[in-house]
DNA sequence: ATGCTGACTATGT
DNA sequence: TACATAGCCAGCA
């Protein structure tokens, strides 16, 4: 047990979440639940949203590539510009939206190689 | 301690 | 298709 043990468990979870999001390639998206699963946190999709909301503007994590299970950009409670920025960034990397405003996940969902499965 | 809230999701009506 | 509800759980008053 070294000095690293003092890091709160929640911080560790967040790092795992960020590590997964960082792997999502351009032009692809992942759902909150998918990220949670890959991060070894099954069923904790909300924690993924919480972790992403905590990112600061200088972060290089591609947070915009995470959308909800319906292929939609989740509305922010505060109604800020984040959602619009997300839409812009995705469109910029050629992620398409259907006429119903949903991203066809069967086409743009990130499918990591089976060899990558977060940490067990 | 206790209760609310939120960038979620699966399920049911 | 559109709500409602039950799980989920960290952060904060």
* pLDDT band with cut points at 50, 70 and 90 for residue A7: low
- Indicate the helix (H) or strand (E) that contains A67: strand A66-67
A80 touches strand C (CB under 7 A): no
A8 touches strand C (CB under 7 A): yes
pLDDT in tens, A60-119: 999 999 999 999 999 998 888 899 999 999 999 999 999 999 999 999 999 998 755 554
As a whole number of angstroms, the distance between CA A40 and CA A21 comes to 13
Check residue A56 and give its pLDDT: 86
A47 touches strand C (CB under 7 A): yes
- In angstroms, the CA of A1 and the C1' of B6 are apart by 34
* pLDDT band with cut points at 50, 70 and 90 for residue A4: very low
Predicted structure pTM score = 0.89
A31 touches strand C (CB under 7 A): no
* pLDDT band with cut points at 50, 70 and 90 for residue A8: low
- In angstroms, the CA of A112 and the C1' of C1 are apart by 32
A45 touches strand C (CB under 7 A): yes
Percent helix, strand, coil in chain A, to 5, is 45, 5, 50
CA A31 to chain centroid? 6
- In angstroms, the CA of A100 and the C1' of C6 are apart by 28
Percent of chain A past pLDDT 70, that is, above it, reads 86
């Amino acid at each position: 047990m070294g000095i690293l043990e003092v890091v709160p468990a929640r911080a560790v979870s967040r790092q795992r979440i960020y590590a997964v999001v960082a792997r999502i390639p351009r032009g692809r998206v992942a759902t909150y639940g998918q990220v949670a699963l890959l991060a070894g946190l099954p069923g904790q999709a909300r924690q993924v949203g919480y972790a992403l909301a905590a990112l600061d503007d200088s972060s290089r994590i591609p947070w915009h590539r995470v959308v909800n299970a319906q292929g939609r950009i989740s509305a922010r409670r505060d109604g800020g510009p984040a959602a619009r920025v997300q839409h812009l960034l995705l469109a910029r990397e050629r992620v398409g939206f259907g006429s119903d405003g949903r991203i066809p996940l069967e086409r743009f969902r990130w499918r990591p190689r089976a060899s990558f499965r977060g940490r067990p």
